[in-house]
Amino acid sequence: MSSGINLGRRRFLTGRIVARASAIRPPWTTEETIASSCVHCEACVTACPQGILQLDADRLPAVDFSGAECTFCGACAAACPEPVFAEQNSAAFFHIAAIGEACFAARGIVCQSCGDACPENAIRFKARIGEPAQPVLSEDLCTGCGACIVTCPTSAITVSTRESRHA
């Protein structure tokens, strides 16, 4: 019986069975539309002016926010020859930013780089007496663009699905 996890020989023989983290898919797509309609042509990857799209291990397009953010320009959707992308007037991403414990402000160091970078002003700072202001994310304003991720000096910001945040 197969679990659906591609182990690879080394992980199988050493017993290191770790499920691969799910990739962040391009805007206006879902895991289902990517799996059913993507033909691995790389048109979206080449079209992205920000250079944030790349192919993952399964040769499917994934977003890498380590170098830039998504500007929602739509070049990836326009370049795709298949019905992978939804209409651009729908929600672009199903994830939002999540600020982790490695955040400088949480450790008593003044930093507001994520808030300064956020184009939607989704990250505000709550003042605290005698300590640096604490970042607070407004989930309603967060578009999941990744601007805060690329600027965070401690890589404390990740993404999480909107559903998992409310579960």
Instruction: Please name each of the domains of the chain with its CATH number.
Output: 9-79 (3.30.70), 95-165 (3.30.70.20)
Indicate the annotated binding residues: 38, 41, 44, 48, 70, 73, 76, 80, 142, 145, 148, 152
Q: Which long-range contacts (CB under 8 A, 24 or more apart) does 77-82 make?
A: 77/26, 77/27, 77/28, 77/44, 78/47, 79/43, 79/44, 79/46, 79/47, 80/41, 80/43, 80/44, 81/39, 81/41, 81/43, 82/37, 82/38, 82/39, 82/41
* Residue ranges in the chain modelled with pLDDT below 70: 1-21, 163-167
Could you tell me the pTM of the whole model? 0.79
What pLDDT sits at residue 14? 54
Indicate the annotated binding residues for [4Fe-4S] cluster: 38, 41, 44, 48, 70, 73, 76, 80, 142, 145, 148, 152
Residue 72 falls in which region: left (phi positive, over 0), alpha (psi -120 to 50) or beta: left
